[in-house]
Structure 1
Amino acid sequence: MPRRFVFAFAAAAALLGPAAAEAAKPPEVTVMTRNLFLGADLAPAINAPDIPTAIDGAGTVWNELQSTKFPERAAPLAREIKASGADLVGLQEVALWRKQTPSDGGAKPISPLAGATPATAVEFDFLALLQSELKKAGAKYKVAVVQNEFEAELPVDADHDDATGTGPLASFGADFDARLTMRDVILVRTGSKVKVGKARTGHYKTRYEPSVGGIKIPVDRGWTSVEAKVGTRAFRFLNTHLEAFGDPKIREAQAKELTKGPLKTSEQVILVGDLNSGDAQDHEPEQPGDELAFKALTKFGFKNNGARQSCCFKSLFDPAGVFDHTVDHVLSKPGLKTVKASVTGHDASERTPSGLWPSDHGGVVSRVRLR
Structure 2
Amino acid sequence: MKPLRHRLFGLLLFIACLPVSAYAQSLSRGDGDLRVMTYNVDEGTDYQEVARASGFQEFLVAVGQTITQVRASNPPERMQALAKQIIAAGPALVSLQELDRWSSGPFDQATSTCGTVTPEFDMLQELRKALSAQGAHYEVAAHAQQYAFPPTPGLILPATFLCVQVVNQVVILARTDLDPSRFQWSNPQSAQFSNSVFLPTPIGVVPLPRAWVSVDAKFNNKAFRFIGTHLESAVAQIRELQGAELRAGPANTALPVILAMDSNAQAAPPPQDVTYVDFIAAGYRDAWSVTFPFLDGFTCCQAQFVNNPQSQLSQRIDLILTLGNIEVQRIVLFGATQASKTASGLWPSDHAGVAAQLAPE
Tell me which interval the TM-score lies in, with the shorter structure as reference length: 0.7 to 0.9
Alignment counterpart, residue 209 of structure 1, candidates 172, 176, 198 = 198
Answer with 1 or 2: which has the greater Rg.
1
Q: Is the 8 A contact 1:103 1:177 kept in 2?
A: no
Q: Which residue of 2 aligns with 1:190?
A: 176
Superposition deviation, residue 214 in structure 1: 7.1
1:1-371 maps to which residues of 2 (within 5 A)?
A: 28-103=33-108, 119-153=116-150, 154-158=152-156, 160-161=157-158, 164=159, 175-192=161-178, 193-213=182-202, 215-245=204-234, 247-279=235-267, 282-284=268-270, 291-306=273-288, 308-315=297-304, 316-334=306-324, 336-371=326-361
CA distance in 1, matches of 2:115, 2:223: 42
1:141-162 Cα offsets, whole Å, 9 max, x none, are 111112111001321111x22x
Contact 2:108 2:114 in 1 (8 A): no
CA-based RMSD: 2.2
Aligned to 2:9: none
The CA deviation at 1:94 is: 0.2
Structure 1 unaligned segments of length 5 or more: list them: 1-25, 107-112, 166-174
Percent identity reads 27
After TM superposition, give the deviation of residue 242 of structure 1 in Å.
0.3
**Amino acid in the other structure paired with 1:186:** I
TM-score relative to the length of structure 2: 0.84
Structure-1 residue corresponding to 2:10: none
Contact kept, 8 Å, 2:224 with 2:258, in 1: the verdict is yes
Partner SS state of residue 332, structure 1: strand
Deviations 1:207-237 (A, max 9, x none): 1112112722110101000111124321110
Q: What does the per-residue CA deviation read over 1:337-362, in whole Å, with 9 as the maximum and x for residues that have no partner?
A: 21110001111111112110100000
Post-superposition offset of 1:176: 1.0
The separation in 1 between residues aligned to 2:311 and 2:87, in whole angstroms, is 24
What code does the residue aligned with 1:185 have? V
TM superposition score normalised by structure 1: 0.82
Q: Deviations over 1:119-140 (max 9, x none)?
A: 5411000011111110111011
Give the number of aligned pairs: 320
* Alpha-carbon spacing, 1:185–1:218, altered in 2? closer, same or farther (3 Å): same
The range that moved more, 31-40 or 306-315, is 306-315
> CA 1:258–1:344 in structure 2 vs 1: closer, same or farther (change >3 Å)?
same
Contact 1:311 1:362 in 2 (8 A): yes
Q: Which has the higher contact order (CA 8 A, sep 6+)?
A: 2
